[in-house]
Amino acid sequence: MVAGICAGAVAAAVLAAGTGGAQGYSVRAEAHFAAPGAAHAKAFTYDRKLVPAGSWIEVRQHTADSGATSVRLRVTGLVPGHAYGVHVHQKPCAADPAAAGGHYQHEPSTDPAAANPDNEVWLDFTARRDGAGSAVARHSWDFRPGEASSVVIHDMPGTKGARVACLTVPFGPRDGRS
Ligand SMILES: [Cu+2]
C-alpha cells in the first residue's frame, strides 16, 4: 500500500543530476507541476489557472571552468500568449510560495535597482500558441554554493508579479560544491 500511495507522485518527481570537477558544473531538473498538497512534489503550482497541474518545466544550468554560466528554461502546458516572469530564487520550493525566499543576486544588495537581469537570473517568457515557452540567461559569473535553489514563475514579467509556480533546482558553482 505504501507503493500505491507514492505511485501518483512519480510524475512529479524532480530528476536532478549534477556533475562537477574540471569540466565545470552542469545540472538538469524537470518536473510536472503539482498542487501544494501533493506528496513528494518538487514543483508546485500556486495558481492552477496560469500553471495547470500537470504542466511541465525543465531547467538546465551549465557553468564552464571560467565561471561563465547559462541557465535554460523550457515549459509546456501553460496559457498561450500569457507573459510570465521567472527568476532564480535562493531557497527550495515548498507548499508556501514564500518559502523560495528572495532572488539570487550576484552582488547582494537591498537597493531595488540591484534587482535587474544583469545582477540576477531572469528567464521571463511569453507562452506560445501551443502553451510552450523557453528562455535562456547568460552571465559571466557562477552561483555561490547553496545560495541558489529554485526557479519561481510569476504572473507577469519583471519583479512585481505574484508567485504562481516553483521548481527546486540544485544550482551550483563551477566546481560543483554544495
Ligand atoms: Cu522571482
Rounded distance from Cα 18 to ligand 1 centre (Å): 23
Tell whether the model's pLDDT for residue 17 goes beyond 60.
Answer: no
Rounded distance from Cα 3 to ligand 1 centre (Å): 35
Rounded distance from Cα 174 to ligand 1 centre (Å): 23
Q: Does 176 map to a domain? A: no
Digit-coded pLDDT (tens) for 149-164: 999 999 999 999 999 9
Q: How many domains does the chain contain in total? A: 1
Q: Does 154 map to a domain? A: yes
Q: Could you tell me the CATH number of the domain that includes residue 126?
A: 2.60.40.200
Q: Does 174 map to a domain? A: no
pLDDT given at position 113: 95
Is there a contact between 126 and 82 (Cβ–Cβ < 8 Å)? yes
Strands (E), the chain: 17-19, 25-32, 43-45, 56-63, 69-76, 83-89, 125-126, 133-139, 150-154, 163-168
Structural domain including 151 reads 2-168
Digit-coded pLDDT (tens) for 117-142: 999 999 999 999 999 999 999 999 99
Q: Does 131 map to a domain? A: yes
Confidence of residue 9 (pLDDT cuts 50, 70, 90): very low
Rounded distance from Cα 105 to ligand 1 centre (Å): 11
Q: Which three cell numbers stand for residue 8?
A: 501518483
Rounded distance from Cα 89 to ligand 1 centre (Å): 6
Q: Does 177 map to a domain? A: no
pLDDT given at position 11: 34
pTM of the model: 0.88
**Closest C-alpha to 87, from 124, 48, 113, 141:** 124
Tell whether the model's pLDDT for residue 5 goes beyond 70.
Answer: no
Q: Map residue 134 onto helix, strand or coil.
A: strand
Q: What is the rounded average pLDDT of the residues 65-90?
A: 97
Rounded distance from Cα 22 to ligand 1 centre (Å): 31
Dist. CA 13–CA 77, nearest whole Å: 17
> What is the sign of the dihedral through the CA atoms of 132, 150, 163 and 118?
negative
Rounded distance from Cα 152 to ligand 1 centre (Å): 5
